[in-house]
Structure 1
Amino acid sequence: MSAVTTPTGVLLGQFTPGSKEWDEARAGLCITATEIAAVMGLSPWSNLFVLWHKKSGLPVPPFVVTPQVEWGSRLEPAVAQKFADEHPEIELHDTGTWRHRDRAWQRATPDRIASDRLLEVKTSPTGEGWENGVPLHYHCQIQWQLDTLGLDLCHIAVLISGHDYREYEVEYDADDAKLMREAAVEFLDTVRRGERPDIDDSAATYDTIRRQADRFDDIDVDIPGPIASRYEVTHQQLKAVEAEHGQAKSLLLDALGTGRNAMHLGRRIAYRTAHEDGTTRALQPAR
């Protein structure tokens, strides 16, 4: 990596993702660019409850390398090279993990860096969320990176559906950065004070709570009335809704017959997937 300096960034090093050094550079009471969206309640992958447990040193769901994550990583060099081919006037460098010179808890690991700007590389299988520009959670990530390093511009190169290459630009917004810094400081204070966020309705929160018990005691635990009642009532409601939805699926599939798309007033509400012999594999809701 060529030597690159930034106005406010201090380079901690270049670490292999998933390595011990990588984890150490992101551990403890710090907020990285990939975590700030969770602090703001905007992350599609995590939330405040999960992040609080992570920063408190408590068990959290492990990071799962899905096919989308794997191929995003594999395609990153190719997409970055496409951007470099389109912009030979910009000299890009590999980079590493940085912290703010005055705020050691503020961390960022951009994909590529030039002398006065950043490049973020993204991939998307469908383009969902990119219809009106850069998705908000990525906007948070990029603003955090720019604020950490003291830069004013980030290019985004995104490959959609494996063939649709697009470019975007995000300029530094001091007001957004200030708002995120304040939220991050308050969040880290709740970790220090041991003030756990409220339990929400997400699967990630349930999975995090599921991992907190480190033993199995064969004992009875008296549950408060409101919690017991809510569980029993919603469980019965869920059974009723599942039964009703099962009948609705049967009615819709019967009405669809050999067709593929179930339409209503010009709007697709579901579609049928089929085996090679034409029999139905599944009825899928429209996305």
Structure 2
Amino acid sequence: MTAREVTKADKAEPGSPEWLKLVTASKIPSILGISRFKSQFALWHEMAGNVPSEPISESRQDDFDYGHAVELAAAEYWRYKNDGWVISRGEVQYTDDALEFGNAATIDGRASRGAWRRIVEIKTARDLEEWGDDGSGEVPADYAAQVIWQQLITGWHEPANIVLWPQYGKPKIYSIEYDAQIAASILTLVREWNASLASGIPPELDDSITTYETVRRLHPEIDGREVQLDAALAHDYLTAVTDDKEITKRLRGLKTRVLDAMGNAQTAVVVDLKIATRSPARGDAIALRSNTKADPATIEGISA
């Protein structure tokens, strides 16, 4: 095995120029195009040095602080559920020197039992919808990809664990099996990604928020010039602006009606199909969350 633990003195600080050049577990979902938080386009331009990493806001830092505190409790919970194993107090980082590019896998907890090693990751969740509502569903694809990358870099092919720490309810432990075929595919895509960085060819534009914000950051100046737009693009843009105004107004009205029909209830259903939930928001506000997995077509013909 060619993996080695990275010493504290050699660790690159997240957000530093050295860190941006590394292929890390947290970047894998974006590289694969499956991240819920950052697009391929946004990450590519960060790693290419065209835009700086977004500064950490006060609220984001508070999320990080909460996450670090949760890691202590979650590690203790995992230890209770895995008798005979020990787990590191704090994260450890590994790199594989055999790979031709800079890489890192930062592990929340290194579990060990004799010669055995196992990855333990800690995740928090405000909304369990991505985890099957009650936490009984599958691990989100972006988290699973991160863990498989960690297994690849460390060489620890024991089933890894993710401890999900929800905002409400008890934690749940998920198991991630190592899949050599998936790991090889990820490695191939990472090599293609690095080749695109070397050639200066970015990914295609998409409709994600992070791509939109990245394009804005790529062109912060206003030089007073006039540019001719493609007529089809201009037509589609103005049409979408008009449609958006109408859809926003209609959606607001429908949300008002759903909230009114729910009263103080937590969940709205049609027979046994969940439609929406009410949950606490900031202050005294109430948030209405739709069940994005529900297919409206399935409601046709249902008699409540």
**1-side partners of 2:279 and 2:162: how far apart?**
35
Matched, 1:286 2:290: yes
The corresponding residue for 1:129 is 130
Match of 2:87 among 88, 92, 96: 92
**2-side partners of 1:210 and 1:68: how far apart?**
26
Provide Cα deviations, 1:46-104, integer angstroms capped at 9, x if missing partner.
12111101110121544451654442222111111222233342232244332112114
Matched, 1:45 2:37: yes
**2-side partners of 1:269 and 1:66: how far apart?**
33
The corresponding residue for 1:148 is 153
For 2:223, the aligned partner's letter is D
Shift of 1:23: 3.2
The corresponding residue for 1:160 is 166
Contact 1:16 1:22 in 2 (8 A): no
The corresponding residue for 1:211 is 217
**1-side partners of 2:168 and 2:201: how far apart?**
44
Identity %: 23
Contact 1:156 1:168 in 2 (8 A): yes
Change (3 A) 1:16 1:124: farther
Unaligned 5+ residue runs, structure 2?
292-304
Unaligned 5+ residue runs, structure 1?
1-6, 275-279
Shift of 1:166: 1.9
Contact 2:161 2:174 in 1 (8 A): yes
Match of 2:98 among 102, 111, 135: 102
Provide Cα deviations, 1:209-254, integer angstroms capped at 9, x if missing partner.
1111242212222222222122111111112222333444455566
**2-side partners of 1:163 and 1:15: how far apart?**
39
**2-side partners of 1:148 and 1:272: how far apart?**
42
Contact 1:92 1:112 in 2 (8 A): yes
Change (3 A) 1:49 1:62: farther
Change (3 A) 1:118 1:231: same
**2-side partners of 1:215 and 1:226: how far apart?**
26
Shift of 1:39: 1.3
Contact 2:13 2:19 in 1 (8 A): no
Contact 2:163 2:173 in 1 (8 A): yes
Shift of 1:122: 1.9
**2-side partners of 1:263 and 1:132: how far apart?**
20
Change (3 A) 1:229 1:108: same
**1-side partners of 2:255 and 2:235: how far apart?**
30
**2-side partners of 1:271 and 1:180: how far apart?**
36
**2-side partners of 1:285 and 1:214: how far apart?**
34
**2-side partners of 1:27 and 1:273: how far apart?**
37
Give the 5 Å matches for 1:1-287.
7-14=1-8, 20=13, 23-28=16-21, 30-59=22-51, 60-64=53-57, 65=60, 68-93=63-88, 94-103=90-99, 104-113=101-110, 114=112, 115=115, 116-130=117-131, 131-153=136-158, 154-249=160-255, 256=261, 260=265, 263-265=269-271, 267-270=273-276, 284-287=288-291
For 1:284, the aligned partner's letter is L
Change (3 A) 1:227 1:264: same
Higher relative contact order (CA 8 A, sep 6+): 1
Contact 1:270 1:283 in 2 (8 A): no
For 1:47, the aligned partner's letter is S
**1-side partners of 2:256 and 2:168: how far apart?**
35
What TM-score do the two structures reach when normalised by structure 2? 0.77
Shift of 1:262: 5.3
Provide Cα deviations, 1:145-175, integer angstroms capped at 9, x if missing partner.
1100111122222222354122222232110
Change (3 A) 1:42 1:66: farther
Contact 1:127 1:161 in 2 (8 A): no
